[in-house]
Amino acid sequence: MPNTAEKDVLALIRERLPFMSKSHKKIAEYVLDMYDEAVFQTAAKLGSAIGVSESTVVRFAMALGFDGYPEYQKALGECVRGKISKMQRIDERYGSSSQSEIVRSVLTSDIEKIQDTIDNLNTNAFNMAVNMLLEADTVYIMGLRSNAPLAAFLHFYLNMIRKNVVLLNSTSTTETFEQMLRICDKDCFVGISFPRYSMRTLKAMEFANDRNAKVIAITDTIHSPMNLYSSCNLLARSDMVSIVDSLVAPLSVINAIVVALCIKRPEAVNNDLKMLEEVWENYQVYLNDEINFINDEPILGYSLRRKERGDE
């Protein structure tokens, strides 16, 4: 049996995924995405759920180093219980705290994550990502589940800076491939994923990499499976402080990307924002006192007029 004290079964599956057969990859992707259901399924039920035989599921467990499916299922159960125990420890930590203490503790933790991200972010990778996003013919962005707001945020502002930005959001890998069917070496793909890592996002990144597109990963650590197919990795710390992971640091990194892009293309951004303001005013999209983009701070509180004044 593998040494699960050092590495849980999910980490083991992620590590060996690139070297698995097609049928074993299918099982692995299902388990990684649906481990909270897979832990209760027999080999026969798991095989039925994804269209493979019971014997294939058993061989999958043995290929991971287990004596059989029962031993593998027990290890998966311990892994899931470990995640539940973590949530229970969080409840013990905050259960007796006042609301103000919880706010202070969580915000302080987020500040620490941002500082850690500042200290460890690879500036060369950041500069590379900005250039990739500027030079690509089409930019594809993907982030699912809790990462979807990050992807939508990047898509919204990137769409104001350049043309041909596609936000991928589907319920199946097949539909994702259909949306990015024409991706090529002149394009760029941004995959955003933090625990729980999305296998659909990973498969889309693999597809983009196979088509020789530039691939950017926005994820949490060098051990993230999202780094398997990326040529540029932007790492932002994301640790669990409740039943979900904090995405404050990743959002700050995306903020920084948008600001850097704005500085690279100040005239284009200014022109687009002026056109937007005219459209908003003509069609009464916003009340007049809500429009404050051009004459004050147009995007993310960073004035593009600084470049006009020579403050570089």
SS (H, E, C) 34-78: CHHHHCCCCHHHHHHHHCCCHHHHHHHHHHCCCCCHHHHHHHHHH
Asked if pLDDT for residue 102 goes beyond 80, the answer is no
Alpha helix segments (H runs only) across 95-240? 99-120, 123-135, 148-161, 173-179, 199-210
**CA geometry: angle at 74 spanning 47 and 194, to 5°?**
75
**Do residues 204 and 173 touch, judged by C-beta distance below 8 A?**
yes
pTM: 0.63
Which of 116-120, 141-145, 189-193, 277-281 is predicted least confidently?
Answer: 277-281
Strand partners, 235: 219
CA atoms within 13 A on the CB side of 71: 15
Contacts of 310 (CB under 8 A, 6+ apart): none
Query: How many C-beta atoms lie closer than 10 Å to residue 106's C-beta?
Result: 15
Asked if pLDDT for residue 118 goes beyond 70, the answer is yes
Asked if pLDDT for residue 231 goes beyond 80, the answer is yes
Q: Topology of 103-264 in CATH?
A: Rossmann fold (3.40.50)
Classify the C-alpha dihedral 4-10-11-12 as positive or negative: positive
- Whether omega for the bond prior to residue 196 falls within 30 degrees of 0, making it cis, is yes
Contacts of 208 (CB under 8 A, 6+ apart): 140, 180, 183, 187, 189, 191, 215, 229
**CATH code that applies to domain 9-91:** 1.10.10.10
Which of 38-42, 152-156, 171-175, 282-286 is predicted least confidently?
Answer: 282-286
